[in-house]
Chains A and B, each alone.
Chain A
Amino acid sequence: MKTSQYSNRHETIYAWLMSAPALIGLFVFVALPLLGGIYWSFTNKRLISPLPTEYIGLQNYWNLLGVQVIRLDPETDAATGQVQTDLDGNPVYPRTRAIVRGNPAYAGFRLWFTKDVLGNRYVVLARDPTFLRALVNTFVFVLVIVPGQGGLALIMALLVNQRLRGRYVFRTIYFSPVVTSMAVLAIVWTFLYNPDQGLINRFLGAISFGSIKPAWLVSADSALLAIIILSAWQAAGFQMIIFLAGLQGIPQALYEAAQIDGGNTWQQFRHVTIPQLRNTTVFVIISTTILAFRLFTQVDVMTKGGPQDATVTVVFHAVDTGFRQQKIGYGSAVTVLFFIIVVSIALIQRALLKSDVEVE
């Protein structure tokens, strides 16, 4: 062993020198903004402001998450004490605005939604209903796209994994949207989604004799669905390739053994393919979830969060408040919450899914 003291020190110097550029880059452009964002989220910092930045504690977080629920009793007739009803027989409730206005307890709150439960109307007020809507929308998007896109990707991988003529052509076609830019595709799809003249509704109209005609991006009911379809269309090819690699890593001997035991195609899929794809599936679920939480480009190009906040997402709200309205402190608080959500979901998924793998 001729590893002298000198050569060890030599190696250390080289190691630090070769690491320095990347370490500086990661520190200045990742760690520093992360810390800065956490710090600014406790202030009222604005991008351009004559007023000095002040420490305001948890005010931004309170403004994001503050919620109040009011229970409304139906209006009763002053003389008889009976519940007043409208023409359809539904109870009449006092107007929300009449209650909220002028009451200092509700100052700074806006209506989020109302819900009728068991003969009472509950009014949910929030400091920032748009942010809460963004949270809901983002979770809905994630919950639909992870299984939807993953399932589509798996089906495509199974199809092109067969020894069929032309399978490479199909693989290439399915993958091609992945290499194009989402900002560009979002514009093209906006045209395709046009309710009257768009190609998609022309096609749906032709096969359904005009009975199916969704308003897609124009309606609050279908706008998020439209964005989900586009997103799955653009990215499914990526997961298909990962599933395909997973499928090709399954030893052929396992299928032969299953055939000898008399297993049919479905049984082979159920008892060989699915368990063997476990690790691949875990990876696809975790990576798609994180990507899905970052939904922004499609929304910004196609709907700007509308109609009626139906497609607003957490990242969109962060950009809207922190950048467009230049409320750095507030936008930073949104991104800090976003970061906490993404990291905790990644950790939870990892713990749940990985521990299962080790048991098998």
Chain B
Amino acid sequence: MSALPANALEASYLQERRRQLRQRLRRNITLTIDYGIMIGLAIFFLFPIVFMVVSSFKPEKAIFDDLKTITWAFIPRDVTLENFTSVFRRVPFGQFMFNSTFIVLATVSAGLIVNSMIAFALARLRWKGKIIVLSLIIALSIVPLDAIVVPLLVLVNEFPWIDGSIGWLDTLHVQIVPFIADAFSIFLFYQFFIGIPRDFDEAAYIDGGSPFAVYRRIIVPLSRPVFATVAILQALFLWSSYLWPLMATRGEASRPLTVGITSFYGQDVKWAQILAFASMITIPVLILFLLFQKWFVQSVVASGLKG
């Protein structure tokens, strides 16, 4: 009589224990699967870049030998800087790097000023014509660059420049000036500015400030995040731009890295050198990304808010 309840107790305890074990097992299986997929995806996303960087330090022959065994393709051996020096010998890499950097910096900084000013006027000033201008900008924001490159090329070919020359082709400014004003950047600024409380401006106006002073002293300092967002999105777009520089530049003097490497690739396929070239373009950007990752991610998120 007395053994029964003890048995029942034991049974229910065992049952409970088994249930817990089963639950833990299930959790561990899910966890393993999750990590398995995540690691698989990580390999998928990393292998081209790792392979590129590792191979760029190998002699051409070693790259092809190591490809026969997949593991060795990812392990450095016979480390040499020969590929890099060859690239420098064959093309003006420094010039390409300067061109790309200069184009990005000049376009982004001019664009931040120009686009934020108009966004300020649209978001915080009262004036006639505002609605028309705003709807025009929204309409222009759907024009993809690719849809206008051919006529744009014809137009800039006829434009005068400040030094009196005619035709912008094969210059740095042909890659800068057309991209300063940007409808999407204006839109991002506008959305941010419209959310700043009005009281800030009113106080400044009472103190006798002009609209420009309000923009410069109050709105700009309050809007650092949106400036960072626009700067990063524009820099990413400009750094990798390929179609326009391909059409608008001919010589090495004004070419950016993207067109520099594709014409290098078109001349003579020496993979070790090409991968060294590719690594020299990619690694600096990856380092910048790792340093300012928070800002990159925030920019992408901001671009997605309000489609």
Contact = CB atoms under 8 A, between A and B. Distances in A.
Partners in one complex: yes
Interface residues of B, number: 95
Contacts of A26: 136-137, 140, 181, 183
Nearest to A341: B147
Interface of B: 31, 34-35, 37-38, 41-42, 44-49, 51-52, 64, 67-68, 70, 73, 114-115, 117-118, 120-122, 125-130, 133, 136-137, 140, 142-144, 146-155, 157, 177-181, 183, 186, 210-212, 215, 236, 239-240, 242-243, 246-247, 257-259, 261-262, 265, 271, 274-275, 278, 281-282, 285-286, 288-290, 293, 296-297, 300-301, 303-305, 307
A40 B258 contact: no
Given A199-B67, A233-B44, A335-B149, 4 more contacts: A176-B286, A177-B49, A180-B285, A331-B150
A94 to B, nearest CB: 41
Nearest to A174: B45
A187 B278 contact: yes
A175 B297 contact: yes
Interface of A: 8, 10-12, 14-16, 18-19, 21-26, 28-34, 36-37, 40, 45, 47, 155-156, 159-160, 162, 164, 166, 170-185, 187-189, 191-192, 197-199, 202-203, 206, 233, 237-238, 241-242, 245-246, 279-280, 282-284, 286-287, 290, 293-294, 296-297, 300-301, 315, 318-319, 322-323, 328, 331-332, 335-336, 338-339, 342-343, 346
Given A34-B143, A176-B289, A170 B38 contact: yes
A290 B256 CA distance: 26
Contacts of A192: 48, 51
A109 to B, nearest CB: 25
A166 B57 CA distance: 30
B27 to A, nearest CB: 11
Nearest to B301: A245
Contacts of B275: 188, 191
Contacts of A287: 304, 307
A283 B307 contact: yes
Contacts of B240: 180-183
A239 to B, nearest CB: 9
A22 B278 contact: no
B34 A164 contact: yes
B304 A283 contact: yes
Contacts of A11: 125-127, 211
5 interchain residue pairs of minimum CB distance? A25-B181, A322-B150, A181-B240, A283-B307, A242-B304
B146 A15 contact: no
Contact of B278 (A184, A199, A293): A184
Contacts of A339: 143-144, 147
Contacts of A199: 47, 51, 67, 70, 73
A34 B212 contact: no
A164 to B, nearest CB: 7
Main secondary structure of the interface of B (DSSP, over half): helix
A297 B262 CA distance: 10
Given A15-B211, A19-B117, A32-B155, A181 B239 contact: yes
Nearest to A301: B262
A34 B297 CA distance: 33
Contacts of A18: 117-118, 120-121, 125, 211-212, 215
A238 B300 contact: yes
A19 B236 CA distance: 25
Contacts of A12: 125, 127-128
Contact of A335 (B146, B278, B285): B146
A185 B307 contact: no
A156 B243 CA distance: 30
Contacts of A171: 297
A47 B152 CA distance: 12
7 contacts: A25-B114, A156-B41, A172-B290, A294-B146, A296-B242, A297-B242, A328-B150
B296 A21 contact: no
A152 B51 CA distance: 23
B70 A202 contact: yes
B147 A37 contact: yes
B144 A294 contact: yes
Given A11-B127, A21-B114, A287-B307, A177 B45 contact: yes
A22 B117 contact: yes
A67 B48 CA distance: 43
Contacts of A33: 148-149, 151-152, 155
A188 B120 contact: no
A144 B288 CA distance: 32
